[in-house]
Structure 1
Amino acid sequence: MTRMSKSESRHPVRKFFLFALIAGAVVAVRNAVSDKGGSYDPNEANER
């Protein structure tokens, strides 16, 4: 376990990849909500 956490702190790429994955999921959910006419960005809804 100590060895694993050591390699994790040594390689921040894995953390960045996880962050990118979460960000992608958030964007996907946001797009789905805005497509349904959600109140995320009213300006965008008015333009459509």
Structure 2
Amino acid sequence: MDVKYVVYGETALDQLLKWLRSTGQPLDVAVVIQKYLEILREKVVEDVA
């Protein structure tokens, strides 16, 4: 692995956990997966830009 490709910062999983905590209620797994995919898409767009 080349060190120049290592990115430090908040991961998509970190963002998902923050979002889950902020909802304050149990959610259907489909909703959680959909949100995780949205976060991942945003991260990819940020990385490409």
> In which range does the TM-score fall when normalised by the shorter chain?
0.3 to 0.5
Normalised by the length of structure 1, the TM-score is: 0.46
Instruction: Between the two structures, name the one with larger relative contact order (CA 8 Å, sep ≥ 6).
Output: 2
Q: Which has the larger radius of gyration?
A: 1
Bigger share in helix: 1
Normalised by the length of structure 2, the TM-score is: 0.45
